[in-house]
Copies of this chain bind each other. A is one copy, B any other.
Amino acid sequence: MPDTLSLLKTRLAEVADLNYAAAVLEWDQETYMPPGAAESRAQQVATLRRLGHERFTADEVGGWLDRLNPSPEEEQALVRVTQRDYARATLLPSAWVSAMAEAKGRALEAWKTAREANDFAHFAPHLQRIVDLNREKAERLRPLLADERGNTYAPTEADALYDALLDEYEPGAHTTEVAAVFADLQRHLVPLVEAIAAQPQLDDRLVHRAYDEDAQWAFGMQVAEALGYDLRHGRQDRSAHPFTTSFGIRDVRITTRLDPQFFNPAFFGTIHEVGHALYEQGIDPALDRTPLADGTSLGMHESQSRLWENLVGRSRAFWMHWFPQAQRHFPGALAGAKAEAFYRAVNRVEPSLIRVEADELTYHLHVLLRFEIERALIAETLAVADVPEAWNAKMEAYLGCTPASDADGCLQDIHWALGALGYFPTYTLGTLMSTQLFEAAERDLGDLNEAFAEGTYRPLLDWLRTHVHRWGRMRSANEILRDVMGGGLDAAPWLAYAKAKFGALYGLGLEAEGSKPQAHSF
């Protein structure tokens, strides 16, 4: 007779396989699936997710979890994390899981069609269904948060629902705290972006030239490997919206999209996804096929993608090394250009329409806008039909530009079509964490720009493997931050970094403004 822990692990491996299989089907849907198969695929994914949910939420699993009280740290973490997942999952009935999987499959196809045809009305009923299913989910999950957070937890009715959604992506986060962080960022960002707007603009014509697609692919793959992405256990494909997906620790894939006239989307998209993939590939292999084999929160996940994309990939030292190679890949576009000019071109700050192409600063205003619209949809103070109008009004207010089409507006992101509400804020939370982690790494390793100037990333990757990656979900985001920084989430390092870097690039003389001093200079 196998012991209780073995029974639990066997079941968890089965559930992991079902979910990995669903992820393969979803990856295929985004990359290679013929269009006429969407309906069948939605049914298949729904079946896999439903069975995974049923096998995980079965009564015997609850019994095993109640009986288990292991002492080794790894097994303790397994039981603790699984207990929480079990509690969440048993609050969601199979019918809901199945309905959501099917709604996502259909919404995804509708979103693609709507985006192509610039026809929000085609997507609207699917978005309404997603909102309704998310509200149902939040209603079912909110008692769990109330239990965990105790007597002092007294959110408004609407925030209680949004908290329950947010908690799936950023465990422990509170809507009110997130709103406060955004208010803080907005307060510092608006004057910074205004000050930049008053300066002569950086010339970015270098990145808006003809970039051969095959060469973009080759250069992106070369850099991805140099950063440490293991292609024996990963690959890159094309998709409409870049993403990272994992079918276990040994198969972590990324996608990108190519613009033949613009260098940034594919290149920084690739590095961004590589950051996610390095996290997944770095999880302790002993955790494979368990609930621990995942990023500990989406914020922490995003900290990895942002760290590699911006703190590495948009640093001057990075381009000192890579620019000559870029010139070999793109002899037409880059003949006679200088590395410094390229560094400046990829760091131009300018309000624009598309989140995934936004600069490091205005990016967070895109996230703020989505956070506010999501909160309003969940609070039912905004109707789905009014999303385009609300979107465009906020774009004008925060970024000073209005999309000419919904394709470049509220239809640009895949997240809602994937059923995810409460996800967007983690992009900004992750960016804040990325600077905290980078500061800690430089404290331990010294100035990393010297290594970057030589194309060396191993010390940084090893540091992240040690302090972040290998733990998977054994440590929460807050525990990781406490381990390396002695404190929790803190916006100050990112604000200081932003002011130092862009102050220098735009000649603002902000360095003496009394920000917390930075050990590293960009």
Given A24-B24, A24-B28, A51-B51, A251 and B17 contact (CB-CB distance below 8 Å): no
Q: Whose C-beta in chain B lies nearest to the C-beta of A43?
A: B17
**A490 on the interface (CB 8 Å rule)?**
no
**A33 on the interface (CB 8 Å rule)?**
yes
In the complex, chain A residues 257-315 whose Cβ is within 8 Å of any chain B Cβ: 288-289
What are the residues of chain B within 8 A of A22 when measuring CB–CB?
21
In the complex the two chains form, is B250's CB within 8 Å of A40's CB? yes
In the complex the two chains form, is A251's CB within 8 Å of B18's CB? no
In the complex the two chains form, is A34's CB within 8 Å of B289's CB? no
What are the residues of chain B within 8 A of A234 when measuring CB–CB?
34
In the complex the two chains form, is A36's CB within 8 Å of B237's CB? no
Given A24-B28, A48-B17, A39 and B237 contact (CB-CB distance below 8 Å): no
**A44 on the interface (CB 8 Å rule)?**
yes
**A502 on the interface (CB 8 Å rule)?**
no
In the complex the two chains form, is A232's CB within 8 Å of B20's CB? no
What are the residues of chain B within 8 A of A159 when measuring CB–CB?
none
CB distance from A250 to the nearest CB of B (A): 5
Chain A 216-235, CB within 8 Å of chain B: the 1/0 string? 00000000000000111111
Chain A 16-60, CB within 8 Å of chain B: the 1/0 string? 011011101100100011111101110110011001000000000
In the complex the two chains form, is B233's CB within 8 Å of A32's CB? no
What are the residues of chain B within 8 A of A17 when measuring CB–CB?
43-44, 47-48
A32 touches which of B13, B18, B237 (Cβ 8 Å): B237
**How distant is the Cα of A237 from the Cα of B51 in the complex, in angstroms?**
30
**How distant is the Cα of A44 from the Cα of B16 in the complex, in angstroms?**
9
In the complex the two chains form, is B36's CB within 8 Å of A232's CB? yes
Most buried by B among A21, A35, A43: A21
What are the residues of chain B within 8 A of A35 when measuring CB–CB?
232
Beyond A21-B44, A36-B230, list 14 extra A-B contacts (CB 8 Å): A13-B47, A14-B51, A21-B21, A21-B24, A21-B25, A24-B24, A34-B233, A34-B235, A36-B233, A36-B251, A39-B250, A41-B247, A44-B247, A44-B248
The 9 A-B residue pairs with the shortest CB-CB distance in the complex, in nearest-first order:
A37-B251, A17-B47, A36-B232, A40-B248, A36-B233, A17-B44, A40-B250, A37-B250, A21-B21
| 26 A/B residue pairs, CB under 8 Å, sorted by A | A13-B43, A14-B47, A18-B51, A20-B40, A21-B22, A21-B25, A21-B44, A21-B47, A21-B48, A32-B32, A32-B237, A33-B251, A34-B231, A34-B233, A34-B234, A34-B235, A36-B233, A36-B251, A37-B233, A37-B247, A37-B248, A37-B250, A40-B248, A40-B288, A41-B247, A51-B51
